Amino acid sequence: MKNSSNSPYNNSLNLNDENVELIGNNGIKGWFDQGFTWLVYTFTAITVAMLFVMSWTIFQEARPAIAKFGIKFLWGQDWDVGNEIFGALPYIYGTLVSSAIAILFAFPVGLAVALVTSENFLPRSIQTTLAFVVQLIAAIPSVIIGLWGIFVFIPVLEPLQRLIAKYFSWIPLFNTTEPFGTNMLTAGIILAIMILPTIAAISRDVLLAIPKELRSSSMALGSTRWETIFRVLLPAGFSGIVSAAMLALGRALGETMAVTMVIGNSSQISASLLDPGYTIPSVIANEFAEADRGLHIGALTYLGLVLFGVTLFVNIGAILLVEWVGKKNR
């Protein structure tokens, strides 16, 4: 990345134009300039400090619970507010399973949207409109998607789930006699809808960035469109598409309102996807406002810390992958 920008100054002038020094230091104007520079530094420091202060504050708030339960909190199964016994396993389980279902549904659909809007299946104007409209899903507030989920989607989904439960109850995943509609599977599908724009948009950018020559040479060797997609485009964009899925996974793990409204909020761990579940964000949303200061708030914040850690891990992984891909393409 040395002098690699597309400015005409690169060769004629010995000037790295991405790092132009524009600072002046004459008289009173120089003082203004110094002040401005320091102001920028200070505000940038505030932005950076935000993340660290956030981590520290949440850690502090969770301290009572960390001291009491330690690492055992992670696999404790009981959540008894009255007796101050707190275990996180049902919530961790619910968060991971609902997000996994979401990725399972959203990944193929999102990839299909990315392919349709980046390949030349359709006229250009329709493609951009499609990409734009799918993006609009991301703008819908979570609480409205939850509202739609409860009153529109679940009534449609419930008979289907009953059929599945009736004929496939011999599979442990569907072993529920009377599914109610508010369950893990529903939450997963709702989450899939919400993370679809993320996968579609980033994968589309990745696919559009693949050099045209790769596609042309594959076509010239006699491959059909789909053979080109599967053997050339998807392998070339693999890491970018995976990082899109990881960013989407991060979204799904932290999503709160829509999940809280449709997952059924039961802290029983059940193997069946048609049974209600609970997630970390949901339990925080439901109990935080009414919790007493002390161990209950501590336990909820501890849950928040666990979620923070998991999403941080997933997001950093995705960001590093994106940066690595970007460097490779340069």
Partner 1 sequence: MSGYQKSGIEPSFANELFTPLPKSRQFFTYLMNAIALGFTVIALIPLLSILWEIISRGISGLKLEMFVNPVIDFGFGNAILGTVVIVSIAALLSVPVGILTGIFLAEFGRINPAANFVRFITNILTGVPSIVVGVFAYSINVFVTKTFSAIAAGFALATIMLPVIVLTTEEALKLVPTDQRLASAALGGNRLQTTFRIVITAALPAITTGILLAVARASGETAPLIFTALFSLDWSEGLLSPTASLPVLIYNLYNDPDPQKHQLVWTTSIVLLSLILFVSIISRLITSKRKIK
- Given the complex with partner 1, which of 21 and 178 has the nearer CB atom? 21
Reference 307, options 6, 55, 44; nearest CA is 55
Distance CA 164, CA 184 (A): 14
Q: Do the Cβ atoms of 330 and 4 come closer than 8 Å?
A: yes
Work out how close the CB of 325 gets to partner 1 at its nearest, in angstroms, rounded to a whole number.
14
Tell me how far, at minimum, the Cβ of 61 lies from partner 1, in Å: 5
Tell me which residues in 144-203 interact with partner 1 (CB under 8 A).
144-148, 150-153, 193, 196, 200
| Residues in a beta bridge with 85 | 80
Query: How far is it, in rounded angstroms, from Cα 10 to Cα 254?
Result: 45
Q: Which of 227, 231, 268, 329: binder of partner 1 (CB under 8 A)?
A: 227
The region that residue 247 occupies, defined by phi over 0 for left and psi between -120 and 50 for alpha, beta otherwise, is alpha
Touching partner 1, residues 5-34 (CB under 8 A): 7, 9, 17-20, 22-26, 29-30, 32-33
Residue closer to partner 1 by CB (options 83, 125) is: 125
Provide φ and ψ at 88, rounded to 5°.
Answer: -100, -10
For residue 278, the minimal CB distance to partner 1 (Å) is: 14
Positive or negative, the CA dihedral 267, 268, 269, 274 is negative
β-sheet bridge partners, residue 86: 79
Tally of residues, the chain: 330
DSSP secondary structure of 224-271:
-HHHHIIIIIHHHTHHHHHHHHHHHHHHHHH--HHHHHHS-------S
Residues touching partner 1, count (CB under 8 A): 98
> Residue 15 Cβ, how far from partner 1 at the closest point, in Å?
8
Binders of partner 1 among residues 70 to 99 (CB under 8 A) are: none
- In the numeric block, the tokens 């009414």 are attached to 290
CB-CB contact of 170 with 215 (8 Å): no
C-alpha R_g of the chain: 25
- Compute CA 101 distance to the chain's CA centroid, rounded to the nearest angstrom: 13
Each as own residue / partner, the long-range contacts of residues 125-131 (CB below 8 Å, 24 or more positions apart, any chain) are: 131/200, 131/201, 131/204
Q: Does 234 bind partner 1 (CB under 8 A)?
A: no
- Cβ of residue 282: shortest distance to partner 1, in angstroms? 9
| Of 122 and 171, CB closest to partner 1 | 122
Report the residue from 82, 139, 170, 330 that binds partner 1 according to the rule CB under 8 A. Answer: 139
Read off the DSSP letter of residue 211: -
Per CB under 8 A, 118 contacts partner 1: no
| Residue 170 C-beta: closest distance to partner 1, Å | 28
Considering the complex, state which of residue 18 and residue 80 has its C-beta at the smaller distance from partner 1: 18
Please report how close the Cβ of residue 108 comes to partner 1 at its closest, in angstroms: 7
Nearer CB in complex with partner 1: 57/216: 57
**Residue 240 contacts partner 1 per CB under 8 A:** no
Q: Which tokens belong to 204?
A: 């589309």
Residue 187 CB, shortest distance to partner 1, in Å, is 14
167 or 230: whose CB is closer to partner 1?
230
Which range, of 47-55, 78-86, 202-210, 266-274, touches partner 1 by CB under 8 A? Answer: 47-55
Q: x/- binding map, residues 249-288, to partner 1, per CB under 8 A?
A: -xx-xxxxx---x-------------------x--xx--x
Q: How far is the CB of 237 from partner 1 (least distance, A)?
A: 15
> Which CB atom, from 1 or from 83, has the smaller least distance to partner 1?
1
